[in-house]
Amino acid sequence: MSKRHSHRRGSLAFKPRKRAISQMPSINAWPKSSEKRLLGVAGYKAGMTHITYIEDRECPNKGVEVSSPVTILEVPPMCAYGVRAYKGGNPLSDVLCTDAKLLAPLGIKKISSSDATSLLSSSPDSIFILVYAQPQKTGIGKKRPERMEIAVGGKDAKEALEFALTLLGKEVKAADIFKVGEYVDSISVTTGKGWQGVVKRHGVHKQRRKATGKVRHAGTLGPWHPGYVQYSAPMAGQMGYHHRTELNKRIMKIGAGNEVTPKGGFLHYGVVSNDYIMLAGSVGGPAKRLIRLRKAVRMDAAPKAPDIRYVSIESKQ
């Protein structure tokens, strides 16, 4: 006998399931912080491994050595080339650094920017720092840098602006932004899987053997009336390459890449030669994809470094 009730197949929370506009993740919401700091960083996904550590959360396994999968992100230093102010969601003006060598990878030749005094006189309500990644320092074979904005924390806009100006023209490392044990949100574009059927895309049950016609399809696309197929009906289409945000990823470790590079390197990536961030669990996207991290918006727990006992560097070949 069939079940009388079951949950719907294919969540409506992620409609429309279409391809992301850009492979560069965008962040529209930032947490508020009274501490003078940057609230995000970007890195490249190298791969996964596993660790053992002493469980320190309030759970039945507290104090027990447990195993956990982790994701390794290679985070080369980011170059801070400008400061931007916003008021009411609208950009006011920019302050760019005067180092032509730092601006050369971006193709900026003529520098036309405001000064910090005029920027502050316009009474901004939020300050962002303009940075770009340096993929040429990794082994992924990419040269064109990704440009992005990162929010700056502070008690007020004046304090945030003063802190941002101290970083102008300098390189920013992962250890300067986040601490071990801190929780972050990961924003990325997931692995693309192309056009997929309704069974793989939505988890619809296959039809019985003697069903008329096909087996891997939905039993119905809706009622007689209304006389059209509603958007909520599970259908075949694009799967993967979606812009997704995952909340509350714990930073397990930050260090140099030679500590976590497995024998023979990570599959489809190679050797981690820069600093890295180790996140608990998985992160969306394939190897070499840019992953942006943001200070957690729904988790305000104090950072507590885990007691890691073992990091697997065995070959993943």
Q: What is the pLDDT of residues 211-252, one digit of tens each?
A: 878 899 998 899 999 999 999 999 999 999 999 999 999 999
Statement: residue 114 has pLDDT above 70: no
- State what percent of residues in the chain have pLDDT above 90: 77
Alpha carbon distance 271, 72 (integer Å): 11
Which residue, chain included where needed, has tokens 């050595």? 65
* For range 160-178, the mean pLDDT: 94
Residue 213 zone, left/alpha/beta (φ > 0; ψ -120 to 50; rest):
left
Alpha carbon distance 265, 154 (integer Å): 40
Choose between 4 and 15: higher pLDDT: 15
In this prediction, residue 193 carries a pLDDT of 97
| Partner residues linked to 73 by β-bridges | 45, 277
Query: Minimum mean pLDDT among 51-60, 105-114, 135-144, 177-186: which range?
Result: 105-114
Statement: residue 283 has pLDDT above 90: yes
Nearest to 81 by CA among 170, 152, 15: 170
* For range 32-51, the mean pLDDT: 96
Where do the domains of the chain lie?
A: 16-28+35-75+179-203+234-317, 77-172
Query: Dihedrals φ, ψ of 220, to 5°?
Result: -150, 150
Tens-digit pLDDT profile for residues 247-275: 999 999 999 888 999 999 999 999 999 99
Nearest to 286 by CA among 189, 204, 196: 189
Compute the C-alpha angle 49/53/55, nearest 5°. Answer: 125
- Specify the CATH number of the domain 16-28+35-75+179-203+234-317: 2.40.30.10
CB-based contacts of 84, cutoff 8 Å, min separation 6: 91, 92, 93, 94, 95, 127, 128, 129, 130, 149
Statement: residue 1 has pLDDT above 70: no
Alpha carbon distance 128, 150 (integer Å): 5
Proportion of the chain in helix, strand, coil states, percent, rounded to 5: 15, 30, 55
Alpha carbon distance 199, 208 (integer Å): 13
Give, in words, the CATH class of 77-172: alpha beta
